[in-house]
Amino acid sequence: MSRAQAEHGFTLIEVLVTMALATIIFGATLSVLDVFQRHNVVDQQRNEVQDNARNTMDQVARQLRNVAAPSAGSPGAILVTSAYSMIFDTVDTSTTYAWGENKSQTMMVRYCLNNENPENEILWFQSKRWKSLKGPEEAPAGTSCPDLGGSWESSRQVAQHVTNRIGGANRPMFVYSAATAPQTASVEVDMFLDLRPGHRPGETQLTSGIGLRNGNRPPIAAFTATQINEFIRLDASASNDPDGLALTYKWLKDGTAMTSTAQVVEAKETKGAHTYELEVTDPGGLKETAKETVTIK
């Protein structure tokens, strides 16, 4: 006679509970993987946006450092200085364009920030080349961004997802060392980026400071006119060149050039009102004038 053997195993309820727990754990694992994958895609997109912005800032820096030096007959340097648009002449070293008489390969470029969608502002690059000896003396008059009316021969987007003006903010993209374009010696570029405004991790700020190696700012003309008895003393020592370059002087009296070209001139004068004018010129040919009327008693 044999004894009954014990039967070991899981009950149906235990099997069902185990399957339910396994399903929950497996689903949670898949959810975590899905979140990780979505975050990874967003991170890759953010990195791509930031890389494009950095490459653009590097391009701006190279072109500003190669800015065309202003000289007589060529405005050069920065032509337009505004918070969200900048136009300047630069030397192009990256093209096989047939330049003709334009031996210096100077071209005009523009960077402007389109604000149609403040949550995704777009930075545009526009350029204009010429074959003549002298290029345009002024920047195109169009102010729209981009100006696609024909003033510029090429236009393209160089950075997206910029948020400098999101929510009514007023954060300039371009900050200049001087408000007047010809006197600008350096430019700071500030770019705020956000792929998904209102979501983490939030904005990224990129900043770059660029000095203009070929800026050649115009000189500053100033002089004093002092009467000493029947003599007049004209002193131009107050004139200066922002870049420390040597200046040449030209004096005019009542519209007629005087013989002396010295910094300080003394001459015997007749009674009455006389208008004296000083013209200073730097080595690049940039000129500035100052004028004063003196009554000799």
pLDDT, tens digit, 9 for 90 and up, residues 106-120: 899 999 999 999 999
* Residue 204 included in any domain: yes
Which of the listed residues 158, 176, 211 is the one where a domain comes to its end?
Answer: 211
Which of the listed residues 149, 180, 211 is the one where a domain comes to its end?
Answer: 211
* pLDDT, averaged across the chain: 86
* Residue 29 included in any domain: no
pLDDT at 2 over 80: no
3-class secondary structure, 61: helix
Which of the listed residues 211, 244, 269 is the one where a domain comes to its end?
Answer: 211
Same domain, yes or no, for 170 and 259? Answer: no
Sign of CA dihedral 164, 207, 62, 79: positive
Q: Which domain holds residue 282?
A: 224-296
* Residue 243 included in any domain: yes
283-296 confidence digits (pLDDT tens): 878 889 999 998 88
pLDDT at 66: 86
- pTM equals 0.71
Same domain, yes or no, for 192 and 231? Answer: no
Domain count, the chain: 2
* Residue 117 included in any domain: yes
* Residue 18 included in any domain: no
Average pLDDT over every residue of 22-36? 77
**Locate tokens 């991790």: which residue?**
201
Q: Cα(59)–Cα(54) distance, rounded to whole angstroms?
A: 9
Burial of 40 (0-12, 13-18, 19+ CB in 10 A): exposed
pLDDT at 182: 72
pLDDT band of 79, cuts 50, 70, 90: confident
Same domain, yes or no, for 117 and 155? Answer: yes
pLDDT at 257: 93
* Residue 244 included in any domain: yes
Same domain, yes or no, for 241 and 195? Answer: no
* Residue 106 included in any domain: yes
Percent of the chain with pLDDT over 90: 48
pLDDT band of 70, cuts 50, 70, 90: low
pLDDT band of 77, cuts 50, 70, 90: confident
* Residue 104 included in any domain: yes
Same domain, yes or no, for 199 and 256? Answer: no
pLDDT at 84 over 80: yes
